[in-house]
Amino acid sequence: MWTLILLLGSSFAETSLGWTYHYSKDKLNWTEAREWCRKYYTDMLVIQNQEENDYVVSILPNQTKSPYYWIGITRNHINGTWTWIGNNSTWVGEHSWAPNEPNNNDITEFCVEIYVNSGANRGKWNDEKCGSKKFPVCYEAQCNATSCDRGRCQETIENTTCICEPGFKGDRCQTVVECDKDKITVPSNGSVECTHQYGNFSYNSSCQYSCEEGYRLSMSRPLTCTASTKWSDQPPTCKCESKSKNTMFCAVGPERGAHLKSQCSQSLTELGPVSSCSFSCEAGFDLQGTQTISVLIFNLFVPPAVECPSLLQPDNGNYSCSGRNRTFNTTCRFDCHPGFLMIGSPAVTCGVTGVWSGPRPTCASMHQLNTSITKILVTQSHQLKTVCQNNHSAKLFVQYVRILVETHKGNH
């Protein structure tokens, strides 16, 4: 018994040598032939297409008559499907069978021989009884467990090919495909966190987005790097939705935000995703929400200014204010009706703490003043200067008192 080793594609001997064919000159029945092939090589000959069929015939020695060569296709019963035992393929070419074959002449012709001769049937198949004696033809696979890193090894004539799993490429499926990392952008008022299974921004990498308090994602599912090197979706955005009084808003009506001050890391024309802005309020206003944000937000909500309590209309007089409300820094001025003199400051201002700057003035008649002054002169004239010091309105009052005092002296 001896074998002839037939190498497929010697030019690929160092890197991609295909499987090799072997045959024996000893005649064996089909079962013995397969046992011999599996003992010394991989299995009985498997043919995957017409090209391989013709190639095998071209390298096997011609026979002038039967017996010919066993090949590894068979079936289990008369109505069964012809199946290749090496890979369970059911390939049969349009012109594989010799004329009038398979004919199952002996009822149990469940094995196949291939004609290798000089006649018209060269390379054709014939069904035969499995107990007949013929020459076995075997193949030895070059693929093994380490042939392809992440793929299936497939052998063809003069070539060994790795059929890669999704997401991998290369002659041995050793390289994972990558997606464009620049497509993963950080949204305004949000952040992104990525996890990587095989490598940074490669197949199956997943990027999950989140938004700051008061915002929601336009899309909640993560972005995934696909086998086509494309991300599964476009990056989402963060949309304002907060209605909490303790959270900064994105858009408000007119006149809101007028007392907000900001300082950004870059000029307004250069702001980008990595810019940051710090916010504060003018005196008398409280900032509610985030003090520092990563990108510029326009029309931020600022709570109403501190308000002072309502003013009462003075008897025998009236007042008017610089604004329509009683908010911080508003000034209200008082006037008396003709014939009445103002006692106290003619104006008050709403302070930072929500308290008016001084007591509200009163409007008094000349008779009321004479009575009040007489009482002051009698009981507290020695304290008048101390009480009125550093008070402009009080100084005016002192001057008026002096006039009345002089008048009072003249009458006595």
User: In this predicted structure, what is the pLDDT of residue 168?
Assistant: 96
Contacts of 255 (CB under 8 A, 6+ apart): none
Beta pairing partners, 319: 334
Q: Which CATH class is domain 6-140?
A: alpha beta
User: Taking residues 102-109, what's their average pLDDT?
Assistant: 85
User: Does residue 134 have a pLDDT over 90?
Assistant: yes
| Ranges 13-17, 213-217, 368-372: which has the least confidence | 13-17
The HSE-up count of residue 74 (CA atoms within 13 Å, CB side) is: 18
Cis ω for the linkage preceding 67 (within 30 of 0): yes
Predicted pLDDT at 310: 86
Q: What is the pLDDT of residue 399?
A: 60
State whether residue 392 is helix, strand or coil.
helix
Q: Which residues contact 263 (CB under 8 A, 6 or more apart)?
A: 277, 278
The pLDDT mean for the chain works out to: 79
Whether pLDDT at 69 is above 60 = yes
Q: What is the pLDDT of residue 303?
A: 52
Q: How confident is the model at residue 377 (pLDDT cuts 50, 70, 90)?
A: low
The answer on pLDDT for 4 being more than 60 is no
Compare 223 and 327 and report the one with higher pLDDT. Answer: 223
165-209 residue pLDDT tens: 999 999 999 999 999 999 999 999 999 999 999 999 999 999 999
Does the structure show a pLDDT above 50 at 58? yes
* Count, residues in the chain: 412
Beta bridge partners of 280: 261
pLDDT at residue 286 tops 50 = yes
Q: Which of 4-8, 25-29, 392-396 ranks highest by mean pLDDT?
A: 25-29
Contact yes or no for 301/253 (Cβ under 8 A): no
Give the whole-angstrom CA distance, residue 44 versus residue 84.
Answer: 9
| pLDDT for the residue numbered 351 | 85
Q: Residue 30 pLDDT more than 80?
A: yes
Q: What is the pLDDT of residues 138-168, one digit of tens each?
A: 998 888 888 899 999 888 777 888 999 999 9
Band (311; pLDDT cuts 50, 70, 90): confident
Average pLDDT on 17-22 reads 80
Q: How far apart are CA 114 and CA 71, in angstroms?
A: 7
| Beta partners for residue 160, in sequence order | 155
How many other C-beta atoms lie within 10 A of the C-beta of residue 124? Answer: 20
Question: What CA–CA distances, in Å, run from 43 to 38, 47, 114?
Answer: 5, 12, 17
Higher pLDDT residue, 169 or 6?
169
Return d(Cα 75, Cα 133) in angstroms, integer: 18
The confidence score (pLDDT) of residue 149 equals: 93
Q: What is the pLDDT of residue 72?
A: 95
Looking at domain 317-411, does it have CATH number 3.40.50.720? no
CATH of region 181-240: 2.10.70.10
Closest Cα partner for 46 from 34, 58, 35? 34
What per-residue confidence (pLDDT) applies to 412? 43
Sequence ranges of the domains in the chain: 6-140, 181-240, 244-304, 317-411
Report which of residues 70 and 268 the model is more confident about.
Answer: 70
Q: In this structure, are residues 306 and 325 in contact, taking their beta carbons and an 8 Å threshold?
A: no
Tell me if 6-140 shares its fold with 317-411.
no
402: left (phi over 0), alpha (psi -120 to 50) or beta: alpha
Per-residue buried b or exposed e for 76-95, using 16+ beta carbons within 10 Å of the residue's own CB: eeeeeebbbbbeeeebbeee
Whether 213 shows a pLDDT value over 70: the answer reads yes
Q: Are 44 and 136 in contact (CB under 8 A)?
A: yes
C-beta pairs of 381-384 under 8 Å, 24+ apart in sequence: none
C-alpha span between 70 and 75 (Å, rounded): 14
DSSP 118: S
Residues 222-278: pLDDT tens digits?
Answer: 999 999 999 999 999 998 874 444 444 443 333 444 566 777 766 554 555 556 677
Task: For residues 21-32, give the mean pLDDT.
Answer: 94
Structure tokens at 94: 């349009």
Contact 351, 357 (CB under 8 A): yes
CB–CB of 8/158 below 8 Å?
Answer: yes
Q: Which residues pair with 239 in a beta bridge?
A: 216
C-beta atoms surrounding 5 within 10 Å: 10
Lowest mean pLDDT among 163-172, 187-196, 294-303, 340-349: 294-303
Predicted pLDDT of residue 283: 67
